[in-house]
Structure 1
Amino acid sequence: MNPEERYQSSKKVTLVTLTVNFILSIAKVLVGFICFSQAIVADGIHSISDVISTLAVWIAIRISREPADREHPYGHGKVETIAAKFIGVLLFLTGLIIIKGSIMTIINNDIKEPGVANLWIALISIIVKELMYRYTYKEGKRINNKALIADAQHHRSDSLSSIAALIGVIGAKLGYLIADPVAGLVVALFILHMGYEIFMEAVNELMDKVDDELYQQIREVVCTSEGIIDIRDLRVRSHGPDIFIDLRVVVEDELSVVEGHKISRRAEERIKDSINNIQEILIHIDPVTVHKELQQRRDQKLDV
């Protein structure tokens, strides 16, 4: 997928989610306040954080389009990961705010029976947010956009928190008024957990944590490439959708520079054919004599 197509797809998703989140968040907060539901108000605050996170995604997508330059030789793709980190922090803070509100409601015994409208807004929210999760997650995976995927997880957390809010409202309508603020606490704890997971995933990517499956896939492709004896010092890092690879490969020591170059080019082409979103590969050639244990192993095979 070319960068312009990726940008247009991301733009479409963010505009749709921004519009839906804005309408839904205002509706939930208003209904929650007017119809006396702490759980629905908490859910509405969660949806407001969705609006902010989607705006962050939109800004990140625009910045990530910028081409590589002298100060950013690997491009601006990591801004998408920074946006995901921001979403994690935002979720965590949202959870803390909701916890405070729910606890104060319980302490002050300021609990009223919620109106029926809360049931309807919770049901609508569950359906809409689950659909938004599936739509955003599918597109995020398709174009490999970390910020969109994090935003999709935010939608899922909103859908699940609406389920908790719905249960709380039903409990309160059945006479258990404490169920509503308790549901607000459950919503908050779920949001805290989701925020922590998104934040840590973004931190790991910013620290260039390597996906084991991708690492093993690259090793397998390179080690089965013609002319390569072994692979050393494989390093992989992601910048948004782009993957950068540098590694050292071991070849026979009697090869010419041209022959070594051809071997590295074949390995590079095989990697790009097997794995999507490879932006750049740097391969350093080592003669087998540099690695004594490999040379001894090779000599033993020749003796046999």
Structure 2
Amino acid sequence: MNDEMRFQKAKRVSLVSILGNLTLTIAKLVAGFLAGSTALVADAFHSSSDLIGTIILLKGMQIAHQPADENHPFGHHRAETITSEILAFILMITAAGIGYKGFQILTSNHITIPGAVAVYIAIFSILSKELMYRYSAKVGKEINSDAIIADAWHHRSDAFSSIAALIGILGARMGMPFMDPIAAFFVAILIFRAGVQIYKKAVSSLMDTAPSNETLNALSEIIINVEGVKQVDDLRVRYYGSKMIIDLKISVLPELTVEDGHNVAGRAKARIMEKDARIQDVLIHVNPYYTR
């Protein structure tokens, strides 16, 4: 899949998310205020943070798919990772605000019992958000985008928060009014946890954390089976946004000419590039192989 197709898929899923989040934000806010549900209003602010996050995501994906230039010779792929960090911060800030509001209401004497409309909106939100999660996660995995997957988890966390809101609303309507602000507080915890997880993954990518041993072993197996490669001396792989860059040292027979060694390295690079579409570049250093 080329970068243009990848961006078009990301753009399509982002526009679906924007439309869905806008609809849910308005519905939850109106229903929350009319029905007097703190949990549903809190859930509406969560949906609004998703809306803002998706707009940022769309811009980040647009930057990430710009071609390499003089100042960015490896491209702009890390814009996706930076976007993931921004989305994580939005989630955590939103969680802090919701939690504080829920605590304020819980400690006050003005807890209202939500109206029936809040129940229907919460159920509608759960179903809508789960469908949006499944669609976004599918596309995110298909195009290997951490930013899209992070946005998908925004939808899933919103579905969870709507479940918590529904429990709080039902509890309040069954004679336990304190359940509604408690649900809002629980929603905040779920959102904050999702934000921390997304942020940690983004930081790990920016720190050039190596992929799994399974990935490294699979690459080593490909390289050692290339004609002319006698030994894999060193293999380092780092993520660059959604892409991977590989630094590799191989050993070849010392009697080979420079051109022959170059050809071995070329074959190795071609085989590696065929392995995974995420691999952007392979840098290979050739050493002489001596038996001991």
State TM-score, norm by structure 2: 0.96
**CA contact 2:211–2:238 (8 Å) conserved in 1:** no
Q: Secondary structure at the match of 2:100?
A: helix
Q: How does 1:230-249 map to 2 (within 5 A)?
A: 230-249=231-250
Q: Does 1:20 align with 2:20?
A: yes
Structure 2: distance between partners of 1:165 and 1:132: 19
Alignment match, 2:230: 229
* Residue of structure 2 in register with 1:179 after alignment: 179
2:75 aligned counterpart, secondary structure: coil
Indicate whether 1:53 and 2:53 are aligned. yes
> What do residues 218-277 of structure 1 show as CA deviations (whole Å, max 9, x unaligned)?
122112322222223322222233221111112222221122112111211211222222
The Cα RMSD (Å) is 1.2
The match for 1:170 is 170
Q: Which residue in 2 is equivalent to 1:264?
A: 265
> Structure 1 stretches (4+) deviating beyond 3 angstroms?
none
Displacement of 1:29: 1.6
Return the offset for 1:203.
0.6
Alpha-carbon distance, 1:193 to partner: 0.5
3-state SS of 1:234 partner: strand
Return 126-135 or 223-232, whichever deviates more.
223-232
Aligned position for 1:141: 141
Cα displacement (A) at 1:133: 0.4
- The amino acid of 1:116's aligned partner reads A
The equivalent of 1:127 in structure 2 is 127
* Alpha-carbon distance between aligned partners in 2 of 1:161 and 1:111, rounded to the nearest angstrom: 20
- Whichever residue aligns with residue 278 of structure 2, its letter is N
2:219 is aligned to 218
Contact kept in structure 2, 1:75 and 1:239, CA below 8 Å: no
C-alpha separation in 1, matches of 2:93 and 2:216: 35
Q: Take 1:121 and 1:232, find their aligned partners in 2: how far apart are those partners?
A: 60
CA drift at 1:216: 2.3
Structure possessing the higher radius of gyration over alpha carbons: 1
Report which stretch shifted further, 87-96 or 231-240: 231-240
Which position in structure 1 is the counterpart of 2:111? 111
Aligned residue identity for 2:115: G
8 Å CA contact retained: 2:161, 2:190: yes
Cα deviations by residue, 1:155-185 (Å, 9 ceiling, x for unpaired): 1100111111111111111111111111111
State how 1:141-160 maps to structure 2 within 5 Å: 141-160=141-160
**Contact 1:11 1:58 (C-alpha < 8 Å) held by counterparts:** yes
What is the distance in 1 between the residues matched to 2:123 and 2:244?
41
TM-score scaled to structure 1, two decimals?
0.93
Letter in 1 for 2:193: H
Preserved CA contact (<8 Å) 1:43 1:158: yes
What is the percentage of aligned positions where both structures have the same residue?
A: 43
Is 244-253 or 226-235 further displaced after alignment? 226-235
Bigger drift between 190-199 and 232-241 goes to 232-241
2:54 maps to a residue whose letter is T
Aligned to 1:277: 278
Aligned length: 291
Report what 2:64 is aligned to.
64
> Could you tell me whether the CA contact under 8 Å between 2:205 and 2:241 is conserved in 1?
no
| SS state at 1:73 partner | coil
**Counterparts of 1:110 and 1:215 in 2: how far apart (Å)?**
59
Structure 1 window deviating more from structure 2 (66-75 vs 265-274): it is 265-274
Q: Do 2:95 and 2:188's aligned partners in 1 also have CA atoms closer than 8 Å?
A: yes
Question: Take 1:117 and 1:216, find their aligned partners in 2: how far apart are those partners?
Answer: 56
**Is 1:101–2:101 an aligned residue pair?**
yes
Q: Which moved more, 1:236-245 or 1:166-175?
A: 236-245
- Structure 1: any 5+ residue segments left out of the alignment? 290-294, 297-304
Structure 2 residues without counterparts, runs of 5 or longer: none
2: CA distance between counterparts of 1:252 and 1:182?
Answer: 70
Q: Where does residue 188 of structure 2 map in the other structure?
A: 188
Contact 2:123 2:166 survives alignment (8 Å):
yes
